[in-house]
Chains A and B, each alone.
Chain A
Amino acid sequence: MKVTDAGVLRVNLSKGTFVEESVGEDMYKMYLGGRGMAAKLLSDEIDPAIDALSPDNKLIFANGLLSGTSAPTGGRYMVITKSPLTGTIASSNSGGIFGAVMRRTGYLMIVIEGRSPKPVYISINDNTVEIKDAVHLWGLGTAAATDKILQEFGEKRASVSCIGPAGEKLSKIACIINDKHRAAGRSGVGAVMGSKNLKAIVVKGSNPIESEEKDQFSAYAKEKTKMLKENAVTGEGLPALGTKVLDSIINQSGLYPTRNFQFATFEDTEEVSGEALVAKGYLKSNKACFGCPIACGRYTVLPGGREGEGPEYESGWAFGADCGVNDLIAITEANFICNDLGLDTISTGTTIAAAMEMYEKGYIKKEDLQNGPEMKFGSSEAVVYYTRMTGMREGFGDLLAEGSYRLGEHFGHPELSMSVKKQELPAYDPRGVQGHGLSYATSNRGGCHVRGYLISPEILGSPEKLDPQELTGKPQWVKTFQDLTAVIDSAGLCLFSSFALGLQDYTDLINGATGFSMTAEEVLTIGERIWNLERDFNLKAGISPVTDSLPERFLEPIPDGPQKGAVSHVQQLLPEYYSLRGWNKDGTIPKGKLKQLGLENAKVVLVRKTG
C-alpha cells in the first residue's frame, strides 16, 4: 500500500452503517493528512456553529501523511472535532502505537458520525469492520476497558483508543486514551466521543506502507533518525529526564506558574522536578512511541506499587506548582487517575488550582464542596480527591468537570480562570515570554503550548536564542512556528522532532514518501493554509477575534522571581501579527487571503469505494 493510497472509513453510529471512501492526491498536496486534512473534512461537512455534543458533530481519528512509516517519530495521530470546551476546532495529538496500527488497516482516517442509541465500540481488523455492543464496558476505566476489548478481539498486536467515565459523563475536559497511557488530551474530545455513545475503537492492520521513492525515503529516514540521536535535546535530555527536564529550567527562568499563576516561581520545585523523579527512585524506565528514537515517555512505579506512564512536565506542573503541591506521589497519583478516568491533566490540574484560589478568597464556600476536603493550595489530599471526583462527575467534581472558565462563571469570578478561549493555559507564565504569550492568545484551539512553542527560541535557545522580553520580530516567529507546527502535525510526526529537524528535513521526508517534488516554501504554505482553515472554522463558529487575548492577570506585574515586574504585551503584538497573516485589522480573514491559499474551493466530496 502506497503512502497516499490510504482511505477513509466513515461510520454512522445513528444508522449503524459504514462506508469506505478514497482520498484524492490533491488532498495530500493541499493538507498532507492528519490535522490538516481532517480540518478540511470537518469544515466541509459540519456547520461550525452546531452544539459540539450534538449528533451533528463529527469525530475524526486522523493519521498524518507519514504516520506508521519508517519516518522517525511517525507514531502520532490526531483527533479532530468541534470542541465542547472552547467552541473552536479541536485537534488533539497522541502517540503510543494506535495511529501506526490503525494506518496498517488501510485507513488514513476514521470519521465518526451521528450517535448510537446505546454504548458501542468499533472493531477494525484490516477491512473487517464491526460495530459491537459496549453496554458491559460503559463505566469502566480506560485500562480495564482496554484489557476487556483486547480479550474480546482475541488477536495480538491490536491497539485500543477509548474513553473513561469522564468522557461518558460528557466532562468538557475529558480526553481520549490509547494504549492505556497515551492521551489525545485537550479540548474535551473525550466528551464528543461520549456524546456519540462510542466507548472505544480497536484496530489491527497488516498492510505494510510503502513509500514512493523507496531508497530515497529510506536514506532520508536514516539520516533524520541519526540527527535526532545525535542532538543533545532529543538524544540525551529527553530520553534521560523526559519532558520533566523542564521543571527546573522554567522555574529558574521565573516562568513556572504557581498557585493558579499568582506567582512565577515555586519554592519546592526541587521536590517535584524531573531530577526528583529520578532521585526518589520512582522512575523505572523511559518509553517510546511507535518509530521514535527519542523515547521521552516515563514509566513510573510509586511506593506501594501503583504504576503507569507519567507524569509529564505539564501534568506534573498542573497538579504540583499550580496547586502549590510539593508531594510527587500525590501528583503522580492524580496523573494516573486522569489516565484511567480519561481526563486532560492540564485542564484538570488548572481547574483545581482555580478552585483553590476561589476557595481561599471566599468565593467558593465550604458547603459548596459537598463534604470534600478543603480546597487549599498545597493540599495533596485535595488534588487526588477532586481529580477522582472530576472524572466521576460526583459531588463538587460535577462543577470541576466543566473546566475552570465555567466554574469561575458559576461562582461569579471567571477572571480567575487561567484560560484562553475557555481552555486552560499550560505551564509557562506568558508575562515572561512575549512571543509565547502571543502564541497562547492566537492559538486556534485556545490556551495551548503546542501550536507555536516559542519557549524553544525564547528560553531554550533552539534554533537560536531570542530575548524573551523583546517584542521586535516576535509576530513573525509566532507565525512561522504556527505554520511549521501545522505541517509537523499533519505529517504525523512528533513536535519534539523539531528540536533537531528543520523545515527542509520535513520536506525531504514528505517528498521521499510520496514522490512529490514540493519545495520547503510550498510545504510551509501548507501549514499556513491549515492555520487559516482552522481560523476560518472558528470565525464561522462565532469565536470572535476579541478572544485573541490573555486573562487580565497577565496585565499585572509578575510579583516574584527573575521576571519580577514583567507584564504581557500581547495587545501590542497583535496588529503586526494580523498584518503578517494577511488578515483584516479586526482579525477576520479577507476573501482574497482565502483564495490565495486555495480555501475558497468547493467542498471536497470523497469517492465511495464500497458499500
Chain B
Amino acid sequence: MSWCGRPGKGVLPDAAQSRFAGTMIRVRFFTILRLLVKRADVILDRRGISVRDLLDDAQRAVPVPFLHKVLDDEGKMKRGTLILVNGRHVQHLDGLDTIIEDGDEVSLFPPGGGG
C-alpha cells in the first residue's frame, strides 16, 4: 500500500494517538447519491480502515441502500464512479484497498459528466 503523494494531508498524527484514539472520518455524498440518501455526509469513528470496509460501514450507518450506485455486483467500482480521498481518486492510490487515516475526507460520486 502507498500513502505517498496524497494531497491535502496535514502533519501526520502521533503514532500512539493514532493507534489508540478514535478517528473521525467524514464520508460525503454528492450528486444523485445525496438526492438518494437525503443527507450530505456521515461521520464515522474509524481508523486504519480500507475504503472498501469504510463503504460497508457507511452503508450500515445510512438507512437507504446506495452502494449499488458506486459498486457493481462483484463489489468493484463501476466505470465512472469517483471515490476521492482528500480530492485524489482512489484509482491513483490503492483502489478500494486504500487505507483511510485520521482526518481524511472521502467523497463519493456515482458516474457523472457534463461540460
Among B7, B35, B69, B110, point to the contact of A275 (Cβ < 8 A).
B35
Give A536 to B78 CA distance when docked, in angstroms. 41
Give A252 to B34 CA distance when docked, in angstroms. 15
Among A313, A465, A562, point to the contact of B115 (Cβ < 8 A).
A313
Cβ B88 vs Cβ A460 within 8 A = no
- Interface segment out of the listed B14-22, B42-50, B53-61, B79-87: B79-87
User: Which A residues are in CB contact (< 8 Å) with B87?
Assistant: 252-254, 561-563
- A236-254 interface code vs B (CB 8 A; 1 in, 0 out): 1110111111101100111
- How far is the CB of A178 from the nearest CB of chain B, in Å? 20
* Any B CB within 8 A of the CB of A232: yes
Among B34, B91, B115, point to the contact of A453 (Cβ < 8 A).
B115
* Any A CB within 8 A of the CB of B62: no
Cβ B115 vs Cβ A232 within 8 A = no
Given contacts A460-B82, A461-B91, A562-B86, contact A238 B35 (CB under 8 A): no
Give A467 to B54 CA distance when docked, in angstroms. 24
Cβ A246 vs Cβ B88 within 8 A = no
- How far is the CB of A312 from the nearest CB of chain B, in Å? 8
Cβ A248 vs Cβ B31 within 8 A = yes
Interface residues of A in 266-324 (CB under 8 A from B): 270, 274-275, 278, 296, 312-314
Given contacts A240-B32, A253-B84, contact A564 B8 (CB under 8 A): yes
User: Which B residues are in CB contact (< 8 Å) with A231?
Assistant: 111
User: Which B residues are in CB contact (< 8 Å) with A296?
Assistant: 114
- How far is the CB of A559 from the nearest CB of chain B, in Å? 13
* Any B CB within 8 A of the CB of A32: no
Among A254, A312, A496, point to the contact of B113 (Cβ < 8 A).
A496
Cβ B80 vs Cβ A461 within 8 A = yes
Give A274 to B112 CA distance when docked, in angstroms. 12
Total A residues in contact with B, Cβ cutoff 8 Å:
47
Cβ A450 vs Cβ B115 within 8 A = yes
**Residue of A whose beta carbon sits closest to that of B40:** A270
Give A233 to B78 CA distance when docked, in angstroms. 12
Given contacts A240-B32, A274-B31, A465-B89, contact A233 B84 (CB under 8 A): no
Among B69, B92, B113, B114, point to the contact of A467 (Cβ < 8 A).
B92
* Any B CB within 8 A of the CB of A363: no
Total B residues in contact with A, Cβ cutoff 8 Å:
30
Give A495 to B78 CA distance when docked, in angstroms. 22
- B61-104 interface code vs A (CB 8 A; 1 in, 0 out): 00000000100000000111110101111011000000000000
- A452-483 interface code vs B (CB 8 A; 1 in, 0 out): 01011001111111010000000000000000
Among A240, A249, A252, A564, point to the contact of B35 (Cβ < 8 A).
A240
Cβ B35 vs Cβ A278 within 8 A = yes
**Residue of A whose beta carbon sits closest to that of B34:** A275
Cβ B114 vs Cβ A252 within 8 A = no
Give A252 to B8 CA distance when docked, in angstroms. 11
Cβ B7 vs Cβ A246 within 8 A = no
User: Which B residues are in CB contact (< 8 Å) with A252?
Assistant: 28, 30, 84, 87, 107, 109
User: Which B residues are in CB contact (< 8 Å) with A241?
Assistant: 31-32, 35, 112
Identify which of B34, B80, B91 gathers the most chain A CB atoms within 10 Å of its CB.
B80
* Any B CB within 8 A of the CB of A359: no
Give A152 to B99 CA distance when docked, in angstroms. 67
User: Which B residues are in CB contact (< 8 Å) with A253?
Assistant: 82, 84, 87, 89
Given contacts A253-B87, A275-B35, A460-B80, contact A237 B30 (CB under 8 A): no
Given contacts A252-B30, A274-B31, A561-B87, contact A246 B115 (CB under 8 A): yes
Interface residues of A in 426-466 (CB under 8 A from B): 449-450, 453, 455-456, 459-465
- Among all A-B residue pairs, the 8 with the closest Cβ atoms: A562-B87, A243-B114, A232-B111, A233-B113, A237-B112, A248-B30, A245-B112, A562-B7
A-B residue pairs in contact (CB < 8 Å), sample of 19:
A233-B80, A237-B31, A237-B112, A237-B113, A237-B114, A241-B35, A246-B113, A246-B115, A249-B112, A270-B40, A449-B115, A461-B80, A463-B79, A465-B89, A495-B115, A562-B8, A562-B87, A563-B7, A564-B8
Q: Given A249-B112, A499-B113, 18 other A-B contacts at CB below 8 A?
A: A243-B115, A244-B114, A245-B112, A246-B114, A246-B115, A248-B107, A249-B30, A275-B30, A275-B31, A296-B114, A313-B114, A314-B115, A460-B82, A460-B112, A461-B79, A461-B82, A461-B89, A496-B113
